[in-house]
Each structure stands twice: as structure tokens, then as C-alpha cells.
Structure 1
Amino acid sequence: MLELPRPASPATRRPDFPRGVGSTVLLVEYAASRGLAQEAALRGSGLTAADLADPDRQVTAEQELRVVRNLLVLVPREEQAAAGREVGRRYHVSTFGIFGFALLSSPTVLDAVDVALRFWDLSFAFALPEAHLEGDAVVFSLSTTGVPADVQPFVLARDAAAVETVLDELLPGEPAPRFEPGTHRLPLPAAYLSRALPQGNPGTLAVCRAMCEDVVMARRARSGLAQRVRVLVTQRVAAGAAMEAVASDLGMSGRTLRRRLAEEGTSYQALLDEVRESLALEMLGTGRLPVEDVALRLGYAEASSFIHAFRRWRGTTPAAHQRALREAGDPA
């Protein structure tokens, strides 16, 4: 009897999770193929060419949707689903980073479905996954819950085409199931789910899943408005990440942002400190950046202000932290 995967830590049930910039890059490239310049594709999103060039950059769901809307200005409503399918076929397994490697290293298709359900918020999808048993098949479907009506035809078609493209790449050279015409239901028969994947490796999968867990735990540590603020602060931190600028990105005043964050039990300064501390540890850990450069990249006017803040966060100075890392890594 086929057993439906039941993830211990189910992926988010809302589409407003932060996502990597890779999807936005593909959207901008597609827009360019239709004659829309990069600047026009990014207009109103708060994103820049530098953001697109940073593979580690995260964006908010609203920022990606702004790019989608800019693109759809060029596409008549009746053609938007077709455009979505065309874009969706550009999303390959490699597009999804460690999440994609986890899919590839799954021993069977069923294992890959389990990975997808567990870590859907490491994808770029707005349509949310659902799965249930029907006889000896798992029916995988996509829901538009939470997806704005004006972008639904494009988004749903894009995400469905991306799923089909990934299935093609998991078992290359073999026909993969397709979404039923006129629906967003994808029946996956037991015989197909039990197929071994050519790159399946339980050991590699375990490593990839652990890495996926680390990423999603960090992203899920904050939710709601606080989560969106952290992403925007990360994008603006080098310029100081002024609260009024981030509030403007969110379409609200600084006072409203302060009040709503207080309702979530946090503050703008606390989120700014979280981002700066996390980035500081990452940059200092490379061993390649002097303290002064780290301070500049974190938006501090003077290194002394960064040193004071770091001592408050970690109880030591940045230089001492770097020395401790070097000594820990020195076999002598």
C-alpha cells in the first residue's frame, strides 16, 4: 500500500515567503526577450541590477510579484497563461540550488515528492502544493490560495510548467506525468513514484536535506511582517537600511511599521541588529575581510560603531572573533 509522505516540518501554507533572486533573474531575462528593459522590469520593486547579480540575495514575494506585473503589461490577459508556461520551462533543477540537489539525490520519485513537500518554501512558487491519495496514485495539485487574482493565470501556469520540467529532468529520456488539461491536478501513479532516480543516493540526500533544514529554519525563524522586513533590510544594509526607506518599500509610514512590528513582539532596531550580526559573522568567517570593510558593508559610518555593536552582540570584538576562528582552524 502506497504511503503518502507526511513531512515532519510542513512547508509554509502561504505564498509570501522570502525566495532567492534566481526566479526574478529569469523573469527579467524573459521580459528582455519581449523588449522590456531591465530597468523597466524592476521598476517599483526596490531591486537593482546589483541585486540580480548577487546569487545569495533574497527577495520578498511582493518584489517578485512587482516584476511579474511589470512583465504582464506587455502580455494580453488571454496570453498570460501561455507566457507563464514559457517562463516555467526555464526553471531547471539547478535553478533551485540545494533544494534542487536534494530532489536529484532522492532515491525514488516518491522521495523527491517528499522533499518537495517538506521544503516548498525553498522554491520560487506562488502556487501552493497539495497531495492526497486516490487509489494507487498520489495526486499532486497546485492551489492559488493567497495568490493575487491579477497574476493568477501567469503564476499558476509558470509553476505547473516548472514542476513538469523538473520531473523531466529527474528521469531524463522518459515521459513524465503531466497536469490534467484544464486543471492543476498531477496524478502520479504508484509505478512512477517507485521509479529509482539515476542520481539517487541516500547519503547525499541526507546531507542535502540537512542543508535544506538549516536554510528553512533560518527563514522560518521570523514570519509575517518581520520576515519581510529582514529581507528588505538585508538588501539595504550597506546603505544604512533607514527605517523610513524600508517602510516606504512596504507601502506604509515609519510609524505604522513601528507599531506593527511591536504587535509581532519585535522592533525595527532588533531586526536590523539580527541582520547585521548574521552578516557580520558570515563575513568575518571568511577570513578575507578586514574589520573596517565589514563595518562599511554593514552600513556603519565608522568601524568603532561596528566594534561596539559586535561586542554587545557577542561579548567580544570582531578582531578577537576572527583570531579565535583562525586558531580553531589551525591544526598546529
Structure 2
Amino acid sequence: MVSYAHQGTTSSALARLSVDVAQLLGIPRHGYAHLLGLAPEHLNDDLCRTPAATSIRVAELTTVYAPWTEMSALLAQRSSIGSLGVWDYLITSAPTPLEGIRDASAHFAAVADTATDNLLITESGEQVTISHVNEADLTYEAACAIRGYALGLYQRRLGEAAGRRIVPLHVSLAAKAPRRHHALTELYGTRTIEFEAPSSSITFLAADLHTPTPHAQPGLSAVLRRHAERTLTNAIALHNWLDLFRAALSCAHEEDAPTLTAVARRLAVSPRTLQRRLDEHGTTWSSEVEAGRRSHVTRLLHHTDLSIGSVAARSGYADARALRRAVQRWYGTTPAAVRRTGPVTASPGC
């Protein structure tokens, strides 16, 4: 799944989890609430992608208040199924846990920053090893916490897929042995933990991951994969101020026809300041509104059964005829064809 546009960001679900743990540990909000992507309207919007730098900062703050071993366990404990969105269900709804974790690996960008993190699966004889690669620029403690959490998360989801707890054969962590690691022993359910390993991984008996998933339904995995891809395609990556503006504009499109004044109010700036900042970023209000409308119309055509007239009304067009002219200009075809064929590429010059 191609996701280059979203590299450098993580899902808002993952950011919510980090903030949840920070709050549980009593970390003062003024230490992180100002960070890009943590405003409530972005943090609680599953289409917003939080900057990886924001997630890193929250993780680093958290390890100041708790040992990395405890943070790993607490993150895993708070990761109830569904907390990470459709990515969770890719694992638990596949025909077998192994097929589920493969789907999760292929769609890792739906939750993590694949520029720095990856989930790798290696099968060798009667064993399956799942590795978490993390190359982000983190403090040592935060990096250890994330690696420890990731392995615990994979174990938990695989157990939920199998309908029973699956105890690993072996756990390896790219971290120095802490003075106390009882939290990790409880997290993984084993004392067979190797520290100072070259990479972080968790190894299972292959037979445990080949067990049929009790709640699997034929065709459901394919539906979930498409949903994960569609969510990432429609996501708004928050890298800078222009991304924040586009997120605010997208919200305005969802509610009503957007106005300069209303979007400026969302961003807590004056309309004149908003126009100046757009100019500084090499764009204009009218071109952004047009692009926003195109995205909004396309989402409605792809993901709803609304009539063309209803789509027009929800997108700020006077009538269905005006909408048809706009779609013809964007895509060189009709709204009905866009709905029928799925995503298409805009015509040159749009």
C-alpha cells in the first residue's frame, strides 16, 4: 500500500493512546497540549494524521515519569481491541492469526509511521518470529518503551484472534537489561526475555498462529483491507500550518459550505491573516476551496448512495448540473462514472 504522502505521521488513534497514558501518569497538559495534531478537533478525528514528532515528544515526556518497562506494559494494557481502528480488526478477523498479522504488516501505514517503523514476519520451520523495527530519532528510554509495547501489542492481538492467550517461545529486546523487569514478564507471560539483542522480536510456535480464527467471516478480511486503504487515502497528514488549514476546511465542508470567516475562526486568526498565510504557502482561498470540494464530492460519490442532487447540495453547488460541470472539469467524466469506477486521476491542469 503506497503511503509516501503520510510518512512522518502516525494515526490519530495512536496519538490518542499516547495522550491517554500521559494523562494516567499525571503529566501536566501544558507540556504537550500545544503540540501540532493534539488539538481536540484533530486528535479525535480519525482522518487526521498526527506528526510523528508530536508522538515522539509525548513518548519522551512519558518516560520521564515512568520506567520504560512500565510504559510498555501500560500502553499495551490501554490498547483494547478497536482502539487502533481498522488495523486491529485486520488481525482479529482474518482466517488465521498468522494471516491477520500479515495483513497488519502490509497495512502498517494505517497506524504507524513507515518512514521509521516496520513490522516484519519471518517463518522458520515450526516457529514464526515477528520483529518491530524502530529507527526514529528517540531518546533511549522512549525507544525501548515503544519496542517493548509493540511486541506486547502484537501478542495481545494474536491472542484475541485465536480466542486464547498465546504465550511466546522467546522475546528479544534491543535494550539493556533493566534493574527490574517484572512488568515485561507480566506483559509477555514469560521469563524467556533476552536483552541487548540486535533487534526486537517475539517468537511463537507456528501451530498457534495457524489455528483458525473463531470469529472469521468469509470475505471480511478483503473488506477491511479496502477500508484501511481508503482511510489512508482520505487521511489528512498534519505536517505544518497548511495541513491544519486543510483539516479545518475539510471539517467545514462536512458541516456546510465553507466561508473564509468560519474557517479563520476555527484557526483562531483573522480572515486577513488567513489569506496572508495562504499566500505565504503559495496558494489561495479559492483554489483550496475548489480542491476541498473535489475531495468532499469524491468521498461522497465513492462512499455513499446519495443522489447526485444530494451530493451537490452537500457540497455547496446550486444543483446537480453545476456539480456535473465541476466533475467534468476535474476528471473528464460524469459523477455516475466516478461512482462506478472508483478513484480516478484528475485531468492535467486541474
Band the TM-score falls in, shorter-chain normalisation: 0.5 to 0.7
Aligned to 2:24: 33
**Would the alpha carbon gap of residues 191 and 270 (structure 1) be closer, same or farther in structure 2, given more than 3 Å must change?**
farther
What is the CA-CA distance between 1:35 and the residue it aligns to? Answer: 1.9
Question: How many angstroms apart in 2 are the aligned matches of 1:281 and 1:39?
Answer: 39
Which residue in 2 is equivalent to 1:210? Answer: 226
Identity of aligned residues (%): 16
Match of 1:262?
none
Q: Does 1:134 align with 2:146?
A: no
| TM-score where L is the length of structure 2 | 0.62
Give the Å deviation of 1:179.
2.9
1:186 and 1:49 mapped to 2: Cα distance?
35
> Is contact 2:9–2:50 with CA below 8 Å preserved after alignment?
yes
- Say whether 1:102 aligns with 2:115: no
1:236 aligns with 2:224: no
* 1:41 Cα deviation after fit: 3.0
Cα displacement (A) at 1:198: 0.9
Q: Which of 149, 159, 162 in structure 1 is aligned with 2:138? A: 149
Deviation at 1:115, TM superposition (A): 0.8
Q: Which range moved further: 78-87 or 112-121?
A: 78-87
Q: Aligned partners of 1:313 and 1:134: how far apart in 2?
A: 55
Question: C-alpha separation between the residues in 1 aligned to 2:323 and 2:167?
Answer: 52
Residues 170, 159 of structure 1: alpha-carbon distance in 2 compared, 3 angstrom cutoff: same
The 8 Å contact of residues 300 and 311 in structure 2, kept in 1 or not, is answered as no
Specify the alignment match of 1:314 in structure 2: 327
| Alignment match, 1:247 | none
* Contact 2:37–2:51 (8 Å) recurs in 1: no
What secondary structure does 1:129 align onto? strand
Deviations 1:255-299 (A, max 9, x none): 9966xxxxxxx999977754442124446856898978755xxxx
C-alpha change, 1:14 and 1:197, in structure 2 (3 Å) is farther
8 Å CA contact 1:60, 1:231 repeated in 2: no
Measured against aligned partners, the alpha-carbon deviations of 1:67-125 in whole angstroms (never above 9, x if no partner) come to: 54245335338813431331133223312333322322211122112211211112246
Q: 1:74 to 1:116 in 2, by over 3 A?
A: closer
> Residues 102 and 66 (structure 1 numbering): CA distance in 2 closer, same or farther, change over 3 Å?
closer
Residue 224 of structure 2 aligns to a residue whose secondary structure is: helix
CA distance in 1, matches of 2:4, 2:68: 25
CA contact (8 A) 2:8 2:51 kept: yes
What residue number does 2:15 align with?
A: 24
Aligned mate of 2:79, from 87, 91, 98 = 91
Within 5 A, what are the aligned runs for 1:230-269? 232-237=244-249, 238=252, 239=263
TM-score normalised by structure 1 residue count = 0.65
Asked whether the equivalents of residues 58 and 231 of structure 1 are also in contact (C-alpha less than 8 Å), the reply is no
Q: Are 1:279 and 2:291 an aligned pair?
A: no
Is structure 2 residue 201 aligned with structure 1 residue 185?
A: yes
Partner residue in 1 for 2:184: none
Deviation at 1:173, TM superposition (A): 3.0
Structure-2 residue corresponding to 1:174: 165
Q: Give the AA of the match of 1:130.
A: L
